[in-house]
Chain A
Amino acid sequence: MHKLLDNKNALGLLFMLPAGALLLVFLTYPLGLGTWLGFTDAKIGRTGEWIGLENFQFLIGDSVARLSLFNTLFYTIVASVLKFVLGLWLALLLNRSLPFKSFLRAIVLLPFIVPTALSAIAFWWIYDSQFSVVSWTLVKMGLIDRYIDFLGDPWMARASVIIANIWRGVPFVAISLLAGLQTIPPSLYEASSIDGATPWQQFWNVTLPLLTPIIAVVMTFSVLFTFTDFQLIYVLTRGGPLNATHLMATLSFQRGIPGGALGEGAALAMLMVPFLLAAILFSYFGLQRRAWQQGGSDK
């Protein structure tokens, strides 16, 4: 028994068992079915027949689907970059010595804690074309003379939902990076400053490299969740105005459920896979190559 437990492979498999079992039972069938559905003309309440690539051919030719692809890429790239920059900055700020440190760190998490369905509703009112508190303030301050149409103009709407997404996501990035920052020994900073390094050099040569594994993980997930975002868009705009904020996830839901075209909805969801896969692989292999941490040999 001892021998077995010491055998790396056997032990490895044993350790993987809980996670593996859960994922296998609850995911393989749905994932498989979800994938298969994309190749059929299944409808709600009616199993479909195999139609091969027809759904995909249609979607590639469909202007709304193409628009949703553009929207999703735009939304994800802009939101993720900003979340990373702002999140890192916030993490650096919170890492410094501050009064009420733990209190601050806790309340910073609030946007992330509020159930998305509810904070989305709050943002919906904040963006309301007649009642927005932001417009009200700007009008009172004399900066604008008409209420801003946050969600009525396609580009404004895109900006507005991105801002809501960033608001909700920055705490996630910040706190994760903060925990990573905490594991960097202060002695490294002390040593480098004795050697005459400026704060910027310290950041670039000490902080960033050591933080890279965590950055890779956090940003991959941030990208994954942003790319497949559903709830926020659904509540704020339902994909409007004129489909300007329809992401692939919201469009696939709209086509599949109220529209009843389950096969087409699944196919649209499948079209997300190459991008998500690329993000995962990039992070897994690319960024983690720099793991010259002890314990991780170069891959």
Chain B
Amino acid sequence: MSNIKRRDLLKAGAGIAAGAAAPMIWVKNAYAQQWNNTPEKGAKLRVLRWSRFVQGDIDQYMKNVQAFTAKYGIEVRVDSESWEDVRPKAAVAANTGAGPDIILGTYDDANLYPEKLVEVTDLCNYLGKKYGGWYPACETYLKPDGKKWIGVPLGATGSMMVYRESQIKAAGFDSFPKDTDGFLKMMKALKDKGTPGGFALGHATGDANTWCHWLVWTFGGKMVDTSNKVVLDSPETIRALEYAKELYGTFIPGTLSWLDPNNNKAFLDGQVSVTNNGISIYYAAKNSKDPKINALQSDINHANYPAGPAGVSTACHLFMNQMIFKYTKYPKAAKEFLRFMMEDEQYGAWLQAGIGYTAQPLAAYEKNPIWSVDPKHTPYRDACKQLRPAGYAGKLGYASAGVLADFIIVDMVAEAASGSKSPKEAAERAQKRAERYYKV
């Protein structure tokens, strides 16, 4: 399968990159000659991006933007919206044919309106060659037909296991379990010790989707097969749901109402010992002026998801893309902007300033110091590398977007876990709901 070949390539690429001593030193000159692009004269760009998750992100991003303007004389205006609000605005832009030139989107936004986007195959080929290749998920999302790139991947925000070291030790576990059986044992022990965990089961677009998809996948279940036929209702899924039910018994109360910010608050207040989240909890602890919370940072650690019977430990982490819309007056300038922002000088600095919130889409950036400067950052490094798009294993498009937005998997897990439906019923219902979307 081409996937395996690609993985070998990536490993080789990483090997070469490792050969060049850190910090990253790329053979700039040889590759620079392959990129030929002159932005239009008098170009002006408008960029819409999601509002920063950490302050360092936007600070460095703006520095990069200013460097771009200084170099090319092109004025760039950057506007932010809350990350979930970018979607309606992108939808309006796609529908009305006017709006920002570049939009930084999430998940499979680009797959909803691929014909409205400027093709960026040359740019992506250039970047891929220069920086060790793109991870498979990037191609699934942004090279849907296998030939043309419809956007430039920006990276992914991992939502990993976040836990209190001291508390799992007190429950009898020296390290975070690597398999689902161990994980369940640990959660039970934590609950018995009065330090339960908690995972979001409300309509939390980030956290709930990530861990619920992990759960189904790690037991071998999936939404669709490669021909886009819905296969959600399967013995594997039902096993996952039974597991979820047992797990739910170890959670603190209230998780059915948890949206994305709830677990952050609860964790920092010491009410949960384990949850899944981006690196923002750790970051908040580090920067807190409250001595009690600040002290948490040495106790917080991160881990990848445990592997279940299917042997995989993957989740649908939040994928970020950069899209250029066809209505732009300056496609060349836009491409140049994206190229500039993805080059090491800018992107590498941005990765570091974002303190690990975003993981790179290109293999070479695995060597970025941010991942080694603090060992607690390392679990987040491979978020983009190991992520699976939420439409696994089929093709992405309206169906997969609809299914994700409607929280079909999250609702299924929540129904089974809380007992409001039996695992079999929950799976059947989810299957029916999903079939409606995939009948297209």
Query: Residues of A with Cβ closer than 8 Å to B?
Result: 43-46, 58, 62-64, 127-131, 146-147, 149-154, 157, 237-243, 254-255, 257-262
Contacts and interface: CB of A to CB of B under 8 A. Distances in A.
Contacts of B405: 254-255, 257-260
B412 to A, nearest CB: 10
A45 B95 contact: yes
8 contacts: A44-B112, A45-B112, A129-B254, A130-B262, A152-B256, A255-B406, A260-B112, A260-B405
Given A255-B402, A257-B91, A239 B256 contact: no
B405 to A, nearest CB: 3
A278 B258 CA distance: 36
B255 A257 contact: no
A151 B91 CA distance: 30
A128 B262 contact: yes
Nearest to B415: A242
Interface stretch (B15-23, B265-273, B344-352, B373-381): B265-273
A254 B94 contact: no
Contact of A239 (B113, B203, B404, B437): B203
Nearest to B439: A58
The size bracket of the interface on B is 35 or more
Nearest to A43: B398
B95 A260 contact: no
Contact of B253 (A147, A241, A262): A147
Given A45-B91, A129-B255, 6 more contacts: A64-B433, A131-B265, A151-B257, A152-B257, A241-B257, A254-B405
A238 to B, nearest CB: 4
B112 A146 contact: no
Contacts of A262: 95
Contacts of B423: none
Which of A149, A157, A258 has the largest number of chain B CB atoms within 10 A?
A258
Contacts of B269: 130-131
Nearest to A150: B257
B229 interface: no
Which of B203, B401, B404, B418 has the largest number of chain A CB atoms within 10 A?
B203
B414 interface: yes
Interface of A is mostly: loop
Contacts of A150: 257
A250 to B, nearest CB: 10
Interface string B376-411: 000000000000000000000010011011110001
A63 B87 contact: no
Contacts of A259: 401-402, 404-406
A147 B253 CA distance: 9
B94 A44 contact: yes
A129 B411 CA distance: 19
Contacts of B271: 130
A127 B259 CA distance: 12
Contacts of A129: 253-255, 257-258, 262
A149 B201 CA distance: 13
A262 B437 CA distance: 13
B33 interface: no
Contact of A257 (B88, B265, B407): B88
B436 interface: yes
B286 interface: no
B113 A147 contact: no
B115 interface: yes
B44 interface: no
Nearest to B263: A130
Contacts of A239: 203
A150 B258 CA distance: 11
A237 B203 contact: yes
A283 B266 CA distance: 48
B256 A240 contact: yes
Which of B87, B202, B257 has the largest number of chain A CB atoms within 10 A?
B257
Contacts of A127: 257
A62 B411 CA distance: 15
Contacts of A151: 202, 254, 256-257
B420 interface: yes
B429 interface: yes
B367 interface: no
Contacts of B252: 130
B116 interface: yes
Contacts of A46: 113, 115
B296 to A, nearest CB: 16
Given A129-B254, A240-B256, A240-B257, A260 B265 contact: no
B257 A149 contact: yes
A239 B407 CA distance: 10
A144 to B, nearest CB: 13
Contact of B116 (A45, A242, A261): A45
B402 A261 contact: yes
B266 A242 contact: no
A45 B411 CA distance: 27
B244 to A, nearest CB: 14
B436 to A, nearest CB: 6
Contacts of B94: 44-45
B257 A242 contact: no
